[in-house]
Amino acid sequence: MKDAAQASFSVFYRPVIPVATAVMAGIAWGVWLPGHVLPALAGVLLLAAWLLARVARQRTSSALALLFCALCGRSSRNHGWMER
């Protein structure tokens, strides 16, 4: 029983590391290259639509999901509450 709990724990947390890394990379990208709000948001919307289309067709989309998380982190840097 302990092995099953250990396996489900590692399977659940396995995608957290790449997703967190992608979001952090997007935030760092936003810090180093400020501005360009509209292209970042356009990329988020485009990738969200592309991801939904791939999920609907039951295709793999891990690289797109990581790029989507990076762009979300990038666009989150553009809000004024982070400069206060």
Determine the Cα–Cα distance for residues 40 and 75; give it in Å rounded to an integer: 6
Q: Note the pLDDT of residue 58.
A: 83
3-state secondary structure of 53: helix
Asked whether residue 80 carries a pLDDT value surpassing 70, the answer given is: no
pLDDT digits (tens, 9 = 90+) for 23-75: 888 888 888 877 777 787 888 889 889 888 888 888 877 788 888 888 888 88
Query: What local confidence, expressed as pLDDT, does residue 9 receive?
Result: 55
Sign for the pseudo-dihedral over CA of 38, 44, 48, 54? positive
- CA pair distance 49, 19, nearest whole angstrom: 18
Q: Where are the domains of the chain?
A: 2-82
From residue 48, give the alpha-carbon distance in Å to each of 20, 30, 52, 64.
Answer: 18, 19, 6, 9
Threshold 0.85, pTM exceeds:
no
User: Does 11 have pLDDT greater than 80?
Assistant: no
**Do residues 74 and 24 lie in contact, with contact meaning Cβ atoms separated by under 8 Å?**
no
**How many C-alpha atoms does 71 have within 13 Å on its Cβ side?**
19
Report the C-alpha gap between 67 and 51 in whole angstroms.
10
